[in-house]
Chains A and B, each alone.
Chain A
Amino acid sequence: MKKVALVTLFAVFFLAGFSQAETLSLLTWKGYAPQALVDKFEKETGIKVEVTYSNNEEMIAKLRATRGAGFDLAQPSQDRISSVQEKYKIYQAMDYSKIDADLFIPSMLNAVKKNTQVGGDSFAAPFCWGTSGMIVNSAKAPGVNSWKALLDDKYTGRVSYRLKRPTLIAMGFALGYDPFALYSDATAYKAMLDKIAETLMAAKPLVKNYWANGDALLESMRSEEVFIAMAWDAGGWKLHDNNAAIDFVAPQEGALGWIDTFAIPSKAKNLDAAYKWINFMLKPENAGYFTTTEKYGTASQGANEFISPEVRNNFERTFPQAAIDNIKWYPPVPAQLERMEGKILDKVKAAK
């Protein structure tokens, strides 16, 4: 009797091991793998997608802990790839012959290739883009169009931002620096950070809270507890649909532009599925669906006709040509800066 049970047990494990379908484990941001597209992909290719949500810092930490194993595809921002790759070697070079270059907006593909180059290889392909700027409730805070509004005591208790590096960069621009130009000069960058820390600590009484969770921030904007926040464009446009007074504003200093990419971890198991997913997501109809539901701009060439008019409207309303030209795109971050920034952020958070 015992033997029979044991044999069945083994048989079950054995079969379970084999009947498992092919999977793609994807390390990405929330909203980057809409369920409808995951289902469609599975139907087309038979590959199941396992999605893990994360952010830039956690993605790097996770892949660093496993030395690039455990995921087949990751989606870091383009400016956070080259220095990390140089130091920890967590990605493998992208084989651009396996992705369909015609699907991409050529200038964006080239920019990402250039910015993620380490040695002779490049490590990423673009997926989507967006900007950090301000979400403003114009009924409560009319005429706001500068980062400086985050420091304005007219709005005491009605301001919210993250304690993350984009905030430091934005404050740098608000104080008249050009942080990106200082990337190569660590001493000058440090001096700028000290000034920013001083400013942020002085402005602490103005802040309602330092938001950590995007949904929670949107909720406090919706309930009109917060009037001005530093946040991503897509969030502001989502709120605009419900309350016309709330909208995303590209500050006059220039919105901060980011491009999120596809990069393949160095010990990815299912390379084939990873490239399939990249090509699938960039197909105009799928990219159009993604942009329509999640409101992030896409790197896909020709997706425009699949994007709903309201969403296209968002882009045109917020970004007239001058605002587009004024977007400050993140250049690749040199490694040692992040340590300095971490300390400054701790200091601000700990201050009274």
Chain B
Amino acid sequence: MKFLVFISFILIIIFFGIPFLWLYLSAFDKEASAFIKMPNFTLSNFIEAFREYNFTRYLINSSLVATITMILTILIVAVSSYSISRIKWRYKNAFLYSLLLFHSIPLSTTMVPIYGIMKILHLRNSYLGLILVYTAMQLPFLIWLMKGFFDTIPEELEEAAWIDGCTYLKALFKVVLPVSLPGILVVSALSFLGAWGESMLILILVDSEKMKTVPLVFYEAMRTVGGYMEVRYELVSAFAILFQIPVVILFILSRKLLATSIVPGVER
């Protein structure tokens, strides 16, 4: 039985690992191809990917959008999930379940109407549009998550701060938030990653050259895979790693926190 489990592990590792092994080997290969092989080692793919795809420019766009989205999300999630945790309201549960509903319906469902609304509001091809969409996109889940954190913090804590003369807002930021730092870190990581990696709505929200972000340019680079032109696998692979790095780093850093909170439906 032990042996059988071990064999299954090897099969699972092969299935899940081969596409990654290929990607990482190709990125360091002078002449990568679609098949997996030992690389003719080089680092120049990364330098060339920077040049070829004008990466710096899009890196700035993506970092800007992701960072502002993260800050805005932290502020909104902190205040709103605190409010929903403390408020006494008849429709509180209905509100919470509608959050769950918003979270569970994929955005691809309403992608066409989202395009329409964003066009009417002149929010396409703008930082503001991207930031608003990326912030709103993650609110339902993050509020749901953070409300859980706030529920566990006793109200006496804030009450003591009010007596010391703090305003409500000050009490929240000075007393309540520091205690819920793990939750805030999860919210920061998820909101940054969400905005950094979002690659579907960007297809309909941006078509001007100067507003493009890393995922959109990566999409254009990999589209040649379909056989229109010869794909430069070594460059696109190097690009993929540049695109993937923040995701992997942030994920490893916040892994322990994420593993316990990222899956809705199994909160204990």
Q: A and B from one assembly?
A: no
Give the A-binding residues of B (Cβ under 8 A). Answer: none
Give the B-binding residues of A (Cβ under 8 A). Answer: none
